[in-house]
């Protein structure tokens, strides 16, 4: 039996852009992606702490060090610039492996989306 568990989380990052005229996805600063072990094109859940919206999309790589968190396409309607969101990835694994799994939680500076040393 496999179970789905949290793989990683970017906790409380601020939305820096919302681009409705794009084919879809969320653009994330590559530094944040690396810190949270998020892959390009990986499915993520976005939880908007500001308005309560929850939705899924996929990731595209943003400029390293930019602090960019930009929702693209239809997802842009679910956020406003400045909203605070949580970005969560999940993994499916055997039950016994899941019991020992430790997710990666990243807590960047919410004002800048930069990693805190």
Residues catalogued as catalytic: 25, 58
Of all helices (H) and strands (E), which one includes residue 8? strand 2-14
Beta bridge partners of 26: 59, 71
**Whole-number Å distance between alpha carbons of 103 and 5:** 8
For the chain, how many residues are written? 117
Q: Contact 110/84 with Cβ under 8 angstroms?
A: yes
Report DSSP state, residue 110.
T
């Amino acid at each position: 039996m496999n179970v789905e568990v949290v793989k990683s989380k970017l906790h409380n990052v601020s939305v820096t852009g919302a681009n409705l005229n794009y084919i879809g996805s969320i653009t994330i600063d590559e530094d944040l992606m690396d810190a949270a072990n998020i892959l390009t094109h990986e499915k993520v859940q976005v939880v908007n702490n500001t308005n309560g919206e929850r939705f899924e999309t996929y990731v595209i790589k943003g400029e390293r060090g930019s602090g960019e968190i930009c929702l693209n396409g239809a997802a842009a309607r679910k956020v406003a610039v400045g909203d605070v969101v949580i970005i969560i990835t999940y993994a499916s694994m055997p039950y016994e492996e899941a019991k020992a799994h430790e997710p990666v939680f990243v807590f960047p500076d919410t004002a800048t989306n930069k990693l805190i040393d």
